[in-house]
Structure 1
Amino acid sequence: MTENQWTEFQNLRQSYKSYVDELIRALPQLPVLLTELIGKRSGPSYPLETPVVYNHALDDIQKESTISVILVADNPGRREQSAAERRYLVGPSGKLADGFFKKHPELGIDFRRNVLILNKTPIHTPRTVELRDLARRGGPDLAEAIRNSQIMMARFIHQCHQIFAPEAELWIIGYSEMGPGKLFEAFTDTLRAAYAIAGYGPDSLFLDSTLASKAPAQGGIADSGDTADNSPASNAPALAENSISRQQVYLYRHFSMNQFSVDFTKQQEPGESTQETLHRIGSQYRKRILGW
């Protein structure tokens, strides 16, 4: 990556790491609520080790790294939150994703080296749909914190795409909960606005390290819109004027249960390259969910 990209990525990475730390401090009730949720669910129990997960794989990225895809999953699961991992997509879904890229070397993408992974929210639950149960247990403050975390992540993701465009594509994995009234509606609305509104530039999206001081006393998270608007302009990195296009945003089915690969195989047309199929499928789902 260029010197500017490297500097901008380091700033963004630190902002993201600081946000996760501040989110943990602002939600002292979260470990207890998650422990109760894990203990009462029908699935296997496990020790809660990281209620809000920063992806430590980002720390492995160096100036010499090449980022080809920014991949967005849902939220950290059981393996991702373990103290031994604290990385995204390290469970069965991650293995399936890795397998897809290994099966298609023509893409020239190493899943563990060229794919930067983020989530729609860094808040852990055993299964994504259990974010609803967690919100009900925690009441309005926690429900709002989960919603605001999606807004913050959508802005981080858009800014990350700004840094690595036009070389990197944005892949959003799992879109069934992105529609109106669904679990990730706030994420969808924020991302749609980021790519659609003229002048929605990097300064308005930059997230500084003062979020915790703006969190409500009850343990909720400050409204991310207020945080972004109030961030001092001097704190915002001077992002390179890369050519970012919403046409480089693609939506796909989950890797879990091999949905991604099955859908790819089912939809690939004769004579079509792997990349052409991926772009066609991803564009169709993008238009369905984001409207463009």
Structure 2
Amino acid sequence: MTQVEWAAFSAFREAFRRQAESWNRDFAAELAPLQRRAAERDTPPYPLETPVVYNAALDEVRAEDAVRLIIVGDNPGKDEQRAHNRRYLVGQAGKLGDGFFRARPELGIDYRRDAVILNKTPVHSAKTAHLRAVIRDGSPAVRRLVQESQLFMAEQTARLHHALCGSGCMLWLVGYAELKPHGIFSEYRDALLRAYERGAASAWSRVLVFQHFSQNRFSVDLKGFCGGTVPADGTLAQRLFELGTRHKAKIFEHTAR
């Protein structure tokens, strides 16, 4: 990273760390029972250790690293909130994402070295859909937390991407369904667009939208878009850009401006 890019990344990382620690300190006692109760419907018991999760992998990024891709997932799941992890996309979905890039070296991206992984909110739930129950059953303060965390992450992520896009950094929003109107992350979607329009417009063309890696939806969608076979040559990057742009247009076409 250049000095300017490193300064921007360091500022983002510190702001995110402080905010996540503050939310965890203030809301963990109230969040944890809600998160456990939401998971009871369809998830085996698991140790709930971190109700609000900062991505500790960010602490391993150094000034000499090149951030070529920002991947924005949904929210931390069971594996991500474990105390020995506290990292994003380390469960099955993360393994699928890692495998996609490993199998396609022509993209020139090491998933764990060249990509920064963020989420639309750091508030944990075993499954993303469980956030609806957390919001529904929580106090007004918890509902505001889920909303404010999305606004915070959208604004901070747009600012970071704008600082890094001069070196060619792309941003992938993975997780199509909950960005739609009335989706869990529709407020994130709206806040993200406002942030780009307000101060990061030059980076907007480098934002793409995809299906989530979870359950192999990303690869299935890409394969279908490519006519049944994902290209294994220099055309893959262009096909990804076309697919991500198509999804972006559909997701953001009804967003209020």
Q: C-alpha separation between the residues in 2 aligned to 1:55 and 1:163?
A: 20
In structure 2, the residue matched to 1:120 is 120
Larger radius of gyration: 1
In structure 2, the residue matched to 1:63 is 63
Contact persistence 1:120–1:154 (CA under 8 A): yes
In structure 2, the residue matched to 1:173 is 174
The Cα shift of 1:272 comes to 7.3
The answer to whether residue 244 in structure 2 is matched with residue 286 in structure 1 is no
DSSP 3-state at the match of 1:251: strand
The equivalent position to 2:209 in structure 1, one of 219, 235, 251, is 251
Query: CA-atom RMSD, angstroms?
Result: 1.8
The correspondence of residues 57-206 of structure 1 with structure 2, limited to 5 A, is: 57-166=57-166, 167-196=168-197, 200-201=198-199
Contact persistence 2:35–2:130 (CA under 8 A): no
In structure 1, the residue matched to 2:220 is 262
Which amino acid in the other structure matches residue 29 of structure 1?
A: E
Q: C-alpha separation between the residues in 1 aligned to 2:251 and 2:199?
A: 23
The correspondence of residues 223-234 of structure 1 with structure 2, limited to 5 A, is: none
Q: C-alpha separation between the residues in 2 aligned to 1:168 and 1:127?
A: 29
Which amino acid in the other structure matches residue 278 of structure 1?
A: L
Q: C-alpha separation between the residues in 2 aligned to 1:2 and 1:77?
A: 33
DSSP 3-state at the match of 1:81: coil
Which amino acid in the other structure matches residue 78 of structure 1?
A: K
TM-score (norm 2): 0.92
In structure 2, the residue matched to 1:229 is none
- % identical equivalent positions: 39
Q: C-alpha separation between the residues in 2 aligned to 1:280 and 1:92?
A: 26
The Cα shift of 1:103 comes to 1.0
Contact persistence 1:53–1:124 (CA under 8 A): yes
Unpaired runs of 5+ residues, structure 1, are 203-242
Which amino acid in the other structure matches residue 73 of structure 1?
A: G
Contact persistence 2:106–2:234 (CA under 8 A): no
DSSP 3-state at the match of 1:165: helix
Are the structure 2 counterparts of residues 113 and 272 from structure 1 closer, same or farther at C-alpha, using a change threshold of 3 Å?
closer
Aligned length: 248
Q: C-alpha separation between the residues in 2 aligned to 1:245 and 1:251?
A: 14
Contact persistence 1:161–1:244 (CA under 8 A): no
Q: C-alpha separation between the residues in 2 aligned to 1:30 and 1:42?
A: 18
In structure 2, the residue matched to 1:215 is none
Contact persistence 1:57–1:87 (CA under 8 A): yes
DSSP 3-state at the match of 2:117: strand
For residues 118-145 of structure 1, the C-alpha deviation after alignment (integer angstroms, 9 at most, x for no partner) is: 0000000000010010112213221121
For residues 110-169 of structure 1, the C-alpha deviation after alignment (integer angstroms, 9 at most, x for no partner) is: 000001000000000000010010112213221121111111110111011012113100
DSSP 3-state at the match of 1:151: helix
DSSP 3-state at the match of 1:71: strand
Unpaired runs of 5+ residues, structure 2, are none
Contact persistence 1:13–1:58 (CA under 8 A): yes
